[in-house]
Amino acid sequence: MSNPKVQVSQESDRSTQPKTFKEDSASTFSEDQIRPRAYQIYESRDRNGTHADEDWSQAKTELMESRGRQISIRAT
């Protein structure tokens, strides 16, 4: 039985390599951008401070959705 010879290329085929995850810049916001909207949401709850994480998450989601709409409007 013969052993088949396999050629190994020094160059890698980039099309078969997994692409690295790069976070979409539209989904990244600084705390300074999120904070004012989170505070508005907090105030709309009659300053009920028991939902700070939810307020922050909602503010971030709204900013991402807003940015997404702006990008899609520019693309058309």
Q: What is the pLDDT of residue 8?
A: 52
Q: What is the pLDDT of residue 62?
A: 94
Q: Give the number of residues written for the chain.
A: 76
pTM of the model: 0.56
Locate the domains of the chain by residue range.
26-43+51-75
Question: For helices 31-44 and 52-75, what crossing angle results, to 10°?
Answer: 120
In whole angstroms, give the CA distance from residue 49 to residue 43. 9
> Which pLDDT tens digits describe the chain residue by residue (76 residues)?
555 565 555 554 555 544 443 445 445 889 999 999 999 999 998 887 789 999 999 999 999 998 887 777 777 6
Backbone angles phi, psi at 13, to 5 degrees: -85, 105
